[in-house]
């Protein structure tokens, strides 16, 4: 018998707060009018502090400068840079000019950069010259030898045919490029007037941002987001944190990612809060230092960032009592880590958010008012004006409490992958549901738990095993700092449980210690057969552990061991 509708895993976020039909530029204008003198952006490492009135002025002038280059609404502009004040100005300048901002991962190398620029048809690329060990200008000259001899704006490169402008964010212009400041200086009364007119004609359903999915398999997909997607998502995620113009948010997560530019900067603008950048790239000690110095009330991060912050030098002596809230997202957060964040970082109102780039990005989130246990053990409830269902392998909605794949529908779902109707059609069905690839379960009160990834689930002798369950248990061991569980190939059972473990400093354990800890506490078939103690995990730049790399390494290791036995 089919479950009654009341018991189905389908939820709709109901709210008395309506969606707003507003562009990103209009949102900044509104906040600058309401809170002109409030700190908008603080970047100590750049010795910079802008009010909302100043940020709005910077965005207007840069928008007018970009239009003066001959760029037109709908053109794509790439930003290939770490966190800095100019990134924020560009986020709003491109929106005001009707240009589509293409976020490019600072870790990209030549092949990835070439793919991203051509996939989206970028007309102008804005970049730093160097960052850490990366020499971006050297890479660009290697990719486009025509650049050095080109007049700015007249680039014609065989490998990137759409690219005309290369704009540098610091230092003097190199051959073929123009500086950020030179672009601002090109603004005219005519282009300033054009920016004002565009504010009245741009539509909130227009695409405004392209972000690349992680691309762990195959070519990264170019998720296309609209003003409507990200403005409303920023509003509702901020409401879950009770964010106001009195809050100061430290944003160590990268701007090229939704976490930085939607849940970070745009969320602050939606609520008049202050944005704070501690460093260009994530630095745990610098983050803690700036949180203390600027009396930040909110802090974002992925689990690995919070682990690094808790273990940073001098952490115990820091005065972090100003902190209260923030978002932890981007990867599953162990319950034990959440408890440490709440107690040791004073973030008793920390929230967990869940979603994907294609959903702009958040579809569920805990609230500061939720009971502690809910904020520790779940990813919260569906956000307003969003629908979620959990379906089995045949697409049927599951009963409450039964795991299945989580799907999302609503204003937050992207309209398409850029210039890729085939991938769009395979991702979003006729009823506008987008599948996540995550295995979730929802209880009778509407709280969701993510129990694994479909591709991460392992099957041992016919038993479905979700790594998250084993990881959460192992995190309760006081000597374990981080653990990731994967499936290792096995001739008898198909797969065996394998745990990679990073120990806390000063602790030591053996494989047998781990198995003894598990015995009698979790089912025998979930006890790791293989245990590997490691100092680090293969990760993406956003702090997501690359389990597919771990699986490949374990398969190779076991194959070598088998060959040696012969």
Q: What is the pLDDT of residues 167-192, one digit of tens each?
A: 999 889 999 999 999 999 999 999 99
pLDDT at 459 over 80: no
Domains 24-34+49-212 and 458-565 share a fold: no
pLDDT at 541: 64
pLDDT at 37: 98
- CATH value of 458-565 in 3.90.550.10, 3.30.1490.100, 3.30.300.30, 3.40.720.10: 3.30.300.30
Strand partners, 211: 103, 223
Domain edges within the chain: 24-34+49-212, 458-565
pLDDT at 124 over 50: yes
As a whole number of angstroms, the longest Cα–Cα distance in the chain is 79
Q: What is the mean pLDDT of residues 255-282?
A: 97
| Contact (CB, 8 A) for 442 and 390 | yes
Q: What is the mean pLDDT of residues 267-289?
A: 97
Nearest CA among 536, 535, 537, 517 for reference residue 527: 517
Task: Sheet with 530-533: list strands edge to edge.
Answer: 480-490, 494-503, 530-533
Helix (H, G, I), strand (E, B) or coil at 396: coil
Round to whole Å and give the CA distance between 158 and 153.
15
pLDDT at 269 over 70: yes
Round to whole Å and give the CA distance between 406 and 440.
6
Nearest CA among 396, 397, 383 for reference residue 355: 383
Nearest CA among 184, 178, 169 for reference residue 59: 184
> Cβ contacts of residue 562 below 8 Å, gap of 6+?
none
Domain at 24-34+49-212: CATH code: 3.40.50.980
| Contact (CB, 8 A) for 447 and 374 | yes
Average pLDDT in the chain: 93
Q: Which of 67-71, 105-109, 316-320, 511-515 has the lowest mean pLDDT?
A: 105-109
3-class SS string, 327-383? EECCCCCCHHHHHHHHHHCCCCEEEEEEECHHHCCEEEECCCCCCHHHHHHCCCEEC
3-class SS string, 153-195? CCCCCCCCCCCCEEEECCCCCCCCCEEHHHHHHCCCHHHHHHH
pLDDT > 90: percent of the chain: 80
pLDDT at 6: 57
Tally of CA atoms within 13 A in the half-sphere of 434 that contains its CB: 25
Strand partners, 406: 390
How confident is residue 3, by pLDDT bands cut at 50, 70 and 90?
very low
SS3 helix, strand, coil % of the chain, rounded to 5?
35, 25, 40
Round to whole Å and give the CA distance between 114 and 556.
31
| Highest mean pLDDT, choosing among 10-24, 101-115, 480-494, 531-545 | 10-24
pTM (two decimals): 0.86
Round to whole Å and give the CA distance between 262 and 256.
10
How confident is residue 542, by pLDDT bands cut at 50, 70 and 90?
low
Q: What is the pLDDT of residues 312-349, one digit of tens each?
A: 999 999 999 999 999 998 777 888 889 999 999 999 99
Residue 491 CB coordination number (10 Å): 7
* Sign of the alpha-carbon dihedral angle for 146, 150, 153, 156: negative
CA 344 from centre of chain: 24
pLDDT at 322: 98
Q: Which helix H or strand E contains 311, and what residues bound it?
A: none
| Contact (CB, 8 A) for 95 and 62 | no
pLDDT at 4 over 50: no
**215 vs 356, residue with greater confidence:** 356
pLDDT at 57: 98
How confident is residue 564, by pLDDT bands cut at 50, 70 and 90?
confident
Q: What is the mean pLDDT of residues 495-505?
A: 94
Tally of CA atoms within 13 A in the half-sphere of 84 that contains its CB: 16
∠ CA 439-331-485, nearest 5°, is: 70
Round to whole Å and give the CA distance between 29 and 11.
34
Q: What is the pLDDT of residues 439-453, one digit of tens each?
A: 999 999 999 998 877
| Contact (CB, 8 A) for 354 and 379 | yes
């Amino acid at each position: 018998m089919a479950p009654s509708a009341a018991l189905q895993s389908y939820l709709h976020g109901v709210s008395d707060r309506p969606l707003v039909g507003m562009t990103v530029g209009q949102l900044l204008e509104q906040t600058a009018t309401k809170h002109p003198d409030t700190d908008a952006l603080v970047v100590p490492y750049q010795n910079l502090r802008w009010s909302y009135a100043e940020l709005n002025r910077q965005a207007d002038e840069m928008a007018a400068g970009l239009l003066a280059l001959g760029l037109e609404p709908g053109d794509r502009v790439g930003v290939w840079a770490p966190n800095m004040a100019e990134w924020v100005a560009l986020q709003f300048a491109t929106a005001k000019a009707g240009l589509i901002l293409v976020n490019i991962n600072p870790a990209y190398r030549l092949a990835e950069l070439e793919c991203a620029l051509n996939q989206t048809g970028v007309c102008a690329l804005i970049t730093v010259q160097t960052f850490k060990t990366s020499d971006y200008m050297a890479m660009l000259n290697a990719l486009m030898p025509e650049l050095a001899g080109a007049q700015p704006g007249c680039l014609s490169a065989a490998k990137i045919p759409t690219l005309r402008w290369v704009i540098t964010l610091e230092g003097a212009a190199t051959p073929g490029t123009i500086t950020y400041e030179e672009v601002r200086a090109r603004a005219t009364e005519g282009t300033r007037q054009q920016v004002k007119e565009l504010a009245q004609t741009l539509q909130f359903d227009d695409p405004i941002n392209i972000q690349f999915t992680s691309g762990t398999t195959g070519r990264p997909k170019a998720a296309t987001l609209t003003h409507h997607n990200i403005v409303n998502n920023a509003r509702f995620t901020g409401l879950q944190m009770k964010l106001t113009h009195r809050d100061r948010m430290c944003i160590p997560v990268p701007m090229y990612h939704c976490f930085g530019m939607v849940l970070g900067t745009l969320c602050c603008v939606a609520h008049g809060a202050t944005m704070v950048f501690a460093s260009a790239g994530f630095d745990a000690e610098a983050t803690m230092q700036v949180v203390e110095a600027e009396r930040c009330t909110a802090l974002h991060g992925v689990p690995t960032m919070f682990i690094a912050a808790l273990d940073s030098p001098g952490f115990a002596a820091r005065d972090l009592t100003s902190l209260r809230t923030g978002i932890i997202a981007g990867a599953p957060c162990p319950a034990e880590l959440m408890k440490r964040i709440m107690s040791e970082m004073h973030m008793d109102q920390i929230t967990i958010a869940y979603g994907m780039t294609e959903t702009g990005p958040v579809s569920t989130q805990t609230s500061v008012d939720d009971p502690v246990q809910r904020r520790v053990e779940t990813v919260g409830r569906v956000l307003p004006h969003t629908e979620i269902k959990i379906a089995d392998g045949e697409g049927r909605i599951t009963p409450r409490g039964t795991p299945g794949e989580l799907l999302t529908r609503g204003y937050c779902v992207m309209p398409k992958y850029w210039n890729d109707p085939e991938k769009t059609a395979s991702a979003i069905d006729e009823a506008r549901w987008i599948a996540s690839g995550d295995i979730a379960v929802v209880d009778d009160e509407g709280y969701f738990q993510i129990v694994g990834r479909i591709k991460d689930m392992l099957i041992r002798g016919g038993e479905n095993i979700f790594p998250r369950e084993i990881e959460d248990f192992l995190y309760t061991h006081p000597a374990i700092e981080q653990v990731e569980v994967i499936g290792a190939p096995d001739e008898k059972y198909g797969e065996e449980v394998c745990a990679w473990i990073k120990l806390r400093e000063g602790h030591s354990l053996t494989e047998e210690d781990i198995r003894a800890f598990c015995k009698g506490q979790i089912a025998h078939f979930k006890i790791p057969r293989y245990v590997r103690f490691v100092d680090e995990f293969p990760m993406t730049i956003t702090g997501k552990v690359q389990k597919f790399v771990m699986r490949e390494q374990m398969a190779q290791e076991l194959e070598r061991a088998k060959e040696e036995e012969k």
